[in-house]
Structure 1
Amino acid sequence: MNDLTRKTVNALLFQAAWFAAVLGAARGLFWLGPLSMIPVLALHLALQEDRRGEAKLLLIAALLGFIFDTVFVASGVFMPLQHLFPRPFSPPWMICLWLNFAATLNVSMVWLRHRYLLAALFGAIGGPLAYYGGAKLGATEALPTLSGLLLLAVGWGVMTPLLVRLAKVLVSEK
């Protein structure tokens, strides 16, 4: 598979898994996000040269995302539809979104590598938009407030370059 095809497949799978998780949660099908991540991550890892490093990145991103979202839920910034874990803990379908995002960092989003300021800007805009989009699709109890979106922008402005850096450090290049 050539590089452009690999990046395109990665980006398309990211979008499909994002919609499966968000729309699944919105419709009470909380298992759809985690279930959709199985083939997405299996294919992602199968196409990686450094599977061990990529698996570490995925697990660390899932843990950091769980903590990040749990803090924001506990502080009332946003209220995802809960499943399996009690509030304020981030539900599994949202943890899958972090796995999904991390799976793009060394493939379709590799262009952010070494561009930490751009990664911060990308995260500060894209992160809150993703949360807002998920809320508009019905995956939260209410839309985030403007102050909540600003807090998410700051959080994602920090998390995105951090994850970009981890993607570089944990996964050996060709």
Structure 2
Amino acid sequence: MQVFMYTGPSANSPDIPPGNNPRGHPDALFQRRHDGLNRGIGFFSGWLTQSLLVNMVFFQCVWFLAVIGAANGNYWLGPFSLMVFIIMHYFFSDTAKADYLLAVFAMVIGLIIETLFLRTGVLNFVGTAPSSEFAPLWVVVLWANFALIMNGCLQWLQRHLIFAALLGSSGGAVSYFAGIKLGAATTGSAMPIVLAVIAVTYALVTPVFLDAARRLSDALQCARR
């Protein structure tokens, strides 16, 4: 014996033409929820991509303005553009607080490293503000600028620290070479030696900054729970 149970008209039944589902019908409800989920995923994906793009663009702009500004005697351009980046970073990053802490740490490390470069004659920077005994401020702010992309466009490297060291090594050398060619610094030794020292330095600090960024971000997230 067969038992038939009536559950109401289906989406494909003759009573309800396809595309004309009543809003209360289960198939229609499922479709609306599915569409809503897709829109949510699309919005989040677009927002995330936009945030990473903004992060990368601001990083490049700060570097360019700081270097070009210093080469032309406008030493204030670097610190000013960094302040703009810091303000905008608050609106585009979920890890802004951790990034700000890392930026302070990076500036201290950068001041030490760049001053060592200066004292040992590896590099000579244009400008002496705030003191001729230390690396100039426009150079130090570039380290904060670097720190602000650790949880941004470079976040994907946090789980690939060996590759991060290689990328940091090459990227650091290219960045300093460009700065020298633009007139923001001069070398105190042969160019290959200078670039080798810079490459080794950034091969070490890049993974450290990435790992510190991840740990700071995780710690602050746990503290909020």
**Which TM-score tier does this pair reach, normalised by the shorter chain?**
over 0.9
**TM-fit CA distance, 1:136:** 0.4
More moved, 63-72 vs 17-26: 63-72
Residue 96 (1) aligns with residue 157 (2) = no
Say if 2:80 is the partner of 1:59: no
Q: Could you tell me which of 73, 79, 87 is aligned with 2:124?
A: 79
The corresponding residue for 1:112 is: 157
Q: Which runs of 4+ in 1 moved over 4 A?
A: none
**Could you say which residue in structure 1 is the equivalent of 2:72?**
27
- Residue number among 203, 209, 220 corresponding to 1:163 in the alignment: 209
Aligned residues of 2:67 and 2:184 also touching (Cα < 8 A)? yes
Shifted more, 134-143 versus 60-69: the winner is 134-143
Q: Is this contact kept in 1: 2:66–2:138, CA < 8 A?
A: yes
Q: Which moved more, 1:75-84 or 1:17-26?
A: 75-84
- 1:14 aligned residue: 59
Separation in 1, partners of 2:96, 2:49: 20
Measure, in 1, the Cα distance between the counterparts of 2:152 and 2:95: 12
8 Å CA contact 1:135, 1:141 repeated in 2:
yes
Alpha-carbon distance in structure 1 between the residues aligned to 2:211 and 2:81: 26
State the Cα distance separating 1:142 from its structure 2 match.
4.1
Greater Rg by CA: 2
Q: 1:87 and 1:118 mapped to 2: Cα distance?
A: 36
Aligned length, in residue pairs: 174
Letter in 2 for 1:61: A
Identify which of 196, 199, 209 aligns with 1:150: 196
Secondary structure at 1:158 match in 2? helix
Q: In the alignment, which of 185, 193, 203 is matched to residue 140 of structure 1? A: 185
Unaligned 5+ segments in structure 1 are: none
Contact 1:26/1:139, CA 8 A, preserved across alignment: yes
- Taking structure 2 as the reference length, the TM-score comes to 0.73
Higher-RCO chain (CA-CA 8 Å, sequence separation at least 6): 1
Q: Deviations over 1:65-87 (max 9, x none)?
A: 11111111111111111231333
Measure, in 1, the Cα distance between the counterparts of 2:47 and 2:82. 23
Name the CA distance, whole Å, in 2 between partners of 1:160 and 1:117: 10
State the alpha-carbon separation in 2 of the partners of residues 146 and 94 from structure 1: 21
What is the CA–CA distance in structure 2 between the aligned matches of 1:119 and 1:70, rounded to whole Å?
Answer: 24
Identity of aligned residues (%): 32
Deviation at residue 61 of structure 1 after TM alignment:
0.9
- Asked if the contact 1:14/1:104 (under 8 Å) is kept, the reply is yes
1:72-123 CA-to-partner distances (Å, cap 9, x unmatched) read 1111111111231333411111111111111111011111112110111011
SS of the residue corresponding to residue 2 of structure 1 reads: helix
Q: Which consecutive unaligned segments of at least 5 residues does structure 2 have?
A: 1-45
